[in-house]
Amino acid sequence: MPTADTTPTIADRDLVLTRVVGASPDKLFRCSTEPALMVRWFTPPPWETARAEVDLRPGGANLVVMRGPAGTEMPHRGVYLEVVRNRRLVFTDAYVSAWEPSDKPFMTAVLTFEDVGDGKTNYTARVHHWTLADKEAHETMGFHAGWGICTDQLAALAANL
């Protein structure tokens, strides 16, 4: 954490989740990019993923619609910045489609899938936030618990593909 006399670095605004997952990078990548698979793991209960849309290319838009227990839907739009099949996926909510800026950018996510052998992958989700306040809000919303549950769901799905 920065001191009062230093400027926060990018790392100061990051939240990171890392796990060794019992599935290969290609399976994790598929689960992270194929809409029919994304809806099966992307949201922690009691919420669910109502639908996902993916244009998997740099500059391609994505949409994930989460639905709460009362039926409230929350759409999350973004754009892919980098796609390296089975290795790395970078997306941001700073844009909503093509290069149309969003009303309030919040984060850029960098997912990496590092093959560690024996059908296992070192999976890392690094989330860069625009401000320290955004990072703190994401922590308060339950980043570690929520993304942890989703990662467990992702791992279980990928292991059974």
CATH superfamily of domain region 19-159: START domain (3.30.530.20)
> In this predicted structure, what is the pLDDT of residue 99?
84
Tokens 């989740």 correspond to 17
pTM over 0.85: yes
> In this predicted structure, what is the pLDDT of residue 87?
98
Query: For each of the chain's 161 residues, which pLDDT tens digit applies?
Result: 555 556 778 789 999 999 999 999 999 999 999 999 999 999 999 999 999 999 999 999 999 999 999 999 999 999 999 999 999 999 999 999 888 999 999 999 999 999 999 999 999 999 999 999 999 999 999 999 999 999 999 999 999 99
All structural domains of the chain with their residue ranges:
19-159
> In this predicted structure, what is the pLDDT of residue 70?
97
The DSSP secondary structure of 29-73, one letter per residue, reads HHHHH-HHHHTTTSS-TT-EEEEEEE--STT-EEEEEEE-TTS-E
Tokens 């009062």 correspond to 4
Q: What is the dihedral of CA 132, 48, 161, 79, to 10 degrees?
A: -50
